[in-house]
Amino acid sequence: MAHVELSLSEVFVPAARASTEPELDNFGQWSSTVCRADEPCLLIDADTRVVAISTAGCELLCLGEPDGLIGRPLLDGGLRLLDFTANRGELTEAEIDKIPPLLALSSGRLARGLLRVQAASADSSDATVDAISTPVHADGAVAGSLTFFSEV
């Protein structure tokens, strides 16, 4: 017959250290990360206002400086999206609702798509950008969306 011996010891609980970082919620942590990111990325809130955008994101999307965009609605901040026709027309309202940052907000799911961004000057060419967006949750609800961009 097998013999099993069991012994119990007290659980070691490490002492809690005081954090020197201020407490941030999920949305606040993403905002801080996006502001410091080297990659082109964007964080908008549920009202589509720009909460944070990386410098690389501003350059890729022809938007100027990040500080000038914070707090402004995404589409009122100078972002000019064009359709993929030869005429390069502006997107309709129905098409705008389907761009990845807004689709992630409304659907609560990952969204991906190509965007054609109007060039900042007439002598520059328009940029085609791959956008991948995810909803950002706070308190169990969608509080915004986080988007990463890559030039195609």
Assigned domain for 138 exists? yes
- Tell the burial category of 130 from Cβ atoms under 10 Å away from its Cβ (0-12, 13-18, 19+): middle
The pLDDT assigned to 22 comes to: 54
Assigned domain for 19 exists? no
The pLDDT assigned to 79 comes to: 87
Assigned domain for 99 exists? yes
CATH at residue 58: 3.30.450.20
Assigned domain for 90 exists? yes
Domain that includes residue 95, residue range: 26-151
Q: Which residues contact 112 (CB under 8 A, 6 or more apart)?
A: 100, 130, 131, 132, 133
Taking only the tens place, the pLDDT of each residue in 2-31 is 666 666 666 666 666 555 555 567 888 999
Question: Domain tally for the chain?
Answer: 1
Q: Which residues pair with 134 in a beta bridge?
A: 146
Written as one string, the DSSP assignment of 91-129 is PPHHHHTTSHHHHHHHHSS-EEEEEEEPPSSTTSPPEEE
Q: Which residues pair with 151 in a beta bridge?
A: 129
Taking only the tens place, the pLDDT of each residue in 98-110 is 999 999 999 999 9
Assigned domain for 5 exists? no
Assigned domain for 97 exists? yes
Taking only the tens place, the pLDDT of each residue in 64-105 is 899 999 999 998 877 899 999 999 999 999 999 999 999 999
Q: Which residues pair with 132 in a beta bridge?
A: 112, 148
